Structure 1
């Protein structure tokens, strides 16, 4: 078969040469630019060429993964969804996310906060170092003023009754909400009758610097039920009792919020008893069976007067306005009513006996506001 002599061979060679001529100036331009830049680098304009260098990867810690709250307290999650999110949140200190450690103040209340103005003075000027969560009975429809740090800090709640499982459910609900803020590293449970005994800086420094949690966990056999041995192998020797009002670190808060082993047994037991006083046993016993040991100071930082002649039945004494004096506050801070020397504590609390105190009646607000600048250091 003969070759097709009409094929434009010469034209194809010419096209290749033209393309080469078009590329050559571009190549020469890059070589020239490199030479010029290398010469400039030795002059006073040595930083000129940095604009041509791609940005280096950032060495800043990566931002935290998103959570469903984004700083809000109110949401539409069910308890099941809430605890699922909380159980996946980082548990320990030193996560790779950039954040300022915060103290989460968890207010377990029935309705309004009669001592709210005192707490507002306490928090004033410390934005970014704390977060607030309020669990009130659903029947309460009031709200803090818009300019208050408590405004918009109420979480979805359920009705609570004294001594029952609902109180512990509320505690776990508060912890789960607070765990979703990855900046929260310490968690303090408080009531509407609690007051701070020091200014914010002292409370913050004491809690964030401590290497332990503060959960009172005493070996008392009262109210133990064999059901715990049958369900969870919790022995009488592991059974504990203690104050409901704790101050704990993130790791222990996460264990309480994520517990699906022991909490159902407590709930089952309380379903058959009118006053099981679960709030005095659940967290202390969990601390025992989980062997928190050296991570727990085995005491609370919240004072309450349980002297037999001063308390009211199963409740500690409620202090009135006439008791709010400088001497009283200083006595409580020094460990009044306790048998221990505060300076002997080796738990990271720097010799502090108590940071908070309860129970204070409504009529104590004005005396406390007058006393706070002189004694507590705020206001």
Structure 2
């Protein structure tokens, strides 16, 4: 009996060893296959050229869609992708756009966006979430519905792809009236930055923005624009409006987040989108400089485009810093895009061949 039990135990041990060997072999085989599959996918991605993702934030339709249609006609379609954030329920169809490039390109989970509110940041994050699903999207360009490209696709693609940094207009905001002390200590004043929301991001920084669950909630709670007089009838009248914090979230969020994460050395601290600010344009000192100038039909001249293209440096008074513009290590024009153009102005530029994208 003991001998029989011993034989059974020995047989079982051999069975266990064989089973363990088979399991190890299967695991190693699976690992090798997965590694080979991963490398194959990686090689396939590397063999394909990276793309620029154009991210449009619009109220409804894109009034300058015909301008962008001509721009994209001069591009290799595999080298770009398009996403549009418009009001909830709006659909780009043949009835709402004359450009096939925008058909069905609106994101399905858009939200209502209000100027000067954190909803603008959320719209940016939604666009990035969609664009990041494609691993070939390596650069992310934010554009408004009044933006035009100044150069053809090939020039813009080479300019952006030749840089390993993000282009983020960012400077230290010395007017602490915009900074709410309630944001401390999560967002310290030492990280407080200001700039334009029309950024160009590398993939790493786009992922940082989408994954942020710390700084964004603080902005939602404590970064709010000053209440406007016409809305005081709907809200409690402020005791002293001049003492209200006047924080415009989309002018601070990306800049402050990247500074907070210690990533400022990885950005080129200037924008690629031109805006004209005229401090004397408004008679109301409270609203002076809130919005850039809009270019109308009469403004759309060769001199305007030449003057914008000729800008080769940007001066930041608050930091006593001058940012000279370069591409591929050589001096270059600062701007690839410009705003705010009305539809008549943009169409005039196209019809008079002042913008040539071919």
- Cα displacement (A) at 1:345: 3.0
Change (3 A) 1:342 1:376: farther
**Residue in structure 2 matching 1:287, options 242, 258, 264:** 258
In the other structure, the counterpart of 2:194 is 241
In the other structure, the counterpart of 2:114 is 161
> Per-residue displacement from partner, 1:68-94 (whole Å, max 9, x unpaired)?
xxxxxxxxxxxxxxxxxxxxxxxxxx9
SS in 1 for 2:87: coil
- Cα displacement (A) at 1:229: 1.4
**1:62 partnered with 2:17:** no
**1:224 partnered with 2:176:** no
In the other structure, the counterpart of 2:100 is 148
**1:133 partnered with 2:86:** no
Computed over aligned residues only, the root mean square deviation of the Cα atoms, in angstroms, reads 3.0
In the other structure, the counterpart of 1:123 is 72
Change (3 A) 1:338 1:309: farther
**Residue in structure 1 matching 2:279, options 288, 305, 308:** 308
Residues 242 and 284 of structure 1 are in contact (CA less than 8 Å); yes or no, is this contact kept in structure 2?
yes
In the other structure, the counterpart of 1:345 is 325
> Per-residue displacement from partner, 1:211-262 (whole Å, max 9, x unpaired)?
21111111013311122213x1x32222111111101111111101111121
**1:299 partnered with 2:270:** yes
CA distance in 1, matches of 2:349, 2:223: 38
- Cα displacement (A) at 1:334: 1.4
- Cα displacement (A) at 1:323: 1.2
**Residue in structure 2 matching 1:322, options 294, 298, 303:** 298
In the other structure, the counterpart of 1:360 is 341
SS in 2 for 1:62: helix
In the other structure, the counterpart of 1:108 is 57
**Matches of residues 199-210 of structure 1 in structure 2 within 5 Å?**
199-210=152-163
> Per-residue displacement from partner, 1:317-356 (whole Å, max 9, x unpaired)?
0001111111211110112894499994356575230000
In the other structure, the counterpart of 1:181 is 134
TM-score (norm 2): 0.73
Change (3 A) 1:60 1:170: closer
CA distance in 2, matches of 1:140, 1:345: 38
Residues 114 and 365 of structure 1 are in contact (CA less than 8 Å); yes or no, is this contact kept in structure 2?
no
CA distance in 1, matches of 2:355, 2:99: 23
> How many residue pairs were aligned?
290
CA distance in 2, matches of 1:216, 1:294: 13
CA distance in 1, matches of 2:281, 2:128: 32
CA distance in 2, matches of 1:337, 1:319: 22
SS in 2 for 1:128: helix
**1:171 partnered with 2:124:** yes
CA distance in 1, matches of 2:297, 2:346: 8
Residues 140 and 202 of structure 2 are in contact (CA less than 8 Å); yes or no, is this contact kept in structure 1?
yes
Structure 2 gaps, min length 5: 1-34, 228-245
